[in-house]
């Protein structure tokens, strides 16, 4: 297979031509591992060219991640380091790396992404996604959501960091309150209520975010503790026919 043919295969995978897959995903990756052992640099270049030309993530299917996964598995530490370096410097490569490491058994690859790119880059990307809404950064939302679902204490620390990075932006604090913090409390309140109380005592931005959550359907005793930690009355269900005002973020 020459370089031109390799680039054509890359385009086919990026276009979604092979979806739905005729074989299991791991079998498809195994087949690609055989193909990509020949002229691996041409495969890397093929991916780079497609990413460079793509204006939006929607221009590429997740299939391109299969090729990157095959290259990483074949190339070992050096290939992983190359993918990591590109992802640290280019949001398009970070998005592709997410799909290359995606694993339904590992909460969508959360552990791998934290190991490869680091907590701060993931959280910075998430804030950028909230403020700029670039679909190249959408993967960070999936990673944070998985963290909220599976690792509540770690997710709480992540939310605290996000609130610090929000630097008093009330709109952003409101989004974080209504999103990851509210989800975290609804899923894990009894487990993390002690941590919530400790953080609220020392963190004004965190108290402000707590005040913006709508969590009235959790355990009443836990609700009262979180309401006390927030330092103000939290939203509760309204009588039928009443309309709720916008979330409070100040």
Q: What is the pLDDT of residues 60-86, one digit of tens each?
A: 988 999 999 999 999 999 999 999 999
Of residues 120 and 243, more confidently modeled: 120
Strand, helix or coil for residue 234? coil
pLDDT above 70 (res 172): yes
List pLDDT tens digits, range 173-192. 999 999 999 999 999 999 99
- Respond yes or no on whether the N-terminal peptide bond of residue 202 is cis (omega within 30° of 0): no
Buried/exposed 218-245: b ≥16 CB within 10 Å, e otherwise: beeebbebbbebbeeebbeeeeeeeeee
Distant-in-sequence, close-in-space partners of 230: CB < 8 Å, separation ≥ 6: 200, 207, 210, 211
Q: Are 180 and 162 a contacting pair, CB within 8 Å?
A: yes
Read off the pLDDT band of 109 (50, 70, 90). low
User: What is the full DSSP assignment across 32-81?
Assistant: HHHHHTSSHHHHHHHHHHHHHH-SSGGGS-THHHHHHHHHHHHHHHHHHH
Q: Are 57 and 138 a contacting pair, CB within 8 Å?
A: yes
Q: Are 42 and 3 a contacting pair, CB within 8 Å?
A: yes
What percentage of the chain carries pLDDT values higher than 90?
82
Q: What is the pTM of this model?
A: 0.89
pLDDT above 70 (res 94): yes
Whole-angstrom distance, CA of residue 244 vs CA of residue 18: 48
pLDDT above 70 (res 112): yes
Tell me the pLDDT of the chain averaged across its residues.
92
């Amino acid at each position: 297979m020459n370089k031109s043919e390799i680039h054509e295969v890359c385009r086919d995978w990026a276009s979604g031509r092979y979806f739905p897959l005729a074989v299991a995903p791991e079998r498809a990756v195994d087949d690609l591992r055989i193909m990509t052992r020949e002229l691996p640099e041409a495969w890397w270049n093929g991916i780079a060219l497609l990413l460079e030309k793509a204006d939006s993530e929607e221009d590429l299917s997740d299939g391109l991640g299969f090729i990157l996964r095959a290259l990483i598995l074949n190339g070992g530490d050096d290939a992983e380091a190359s993918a990591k370096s590109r992802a640290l410097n280019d949001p398009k490569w970070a998005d592709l790396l997410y799909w290359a490491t995606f694993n339904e058994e590992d909460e969508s690859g959360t552990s791998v992404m934290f190991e490869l790119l680091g907590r701060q880059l993931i959280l910075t990307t998430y804030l950028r996604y909230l403020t700029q809404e670039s679909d190249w950064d959408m993967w960070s939302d999936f990673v944070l959501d998985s963290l909220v679902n599976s690792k509540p204490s770690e997710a709480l620390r992540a939310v605290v960091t996000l609130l610090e990075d929000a630097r008093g932006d009330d709109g952003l604090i409101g989004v974080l309150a209504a999103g990851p913090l509210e989800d975290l409390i609804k899923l894990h309140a009894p487990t993390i209520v002690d941590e919530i109380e400790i953080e609220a005592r020392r963190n004004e931005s965190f108290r402000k975010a707590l005040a913006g959550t709508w969590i009235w359907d959790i355990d009443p005793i836990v609700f009262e503790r979180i309401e006390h930690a927030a330092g103000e009355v939290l939203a509760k269900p309204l009588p039928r026919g009443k309309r709720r005002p916008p979330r409070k973020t100040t």
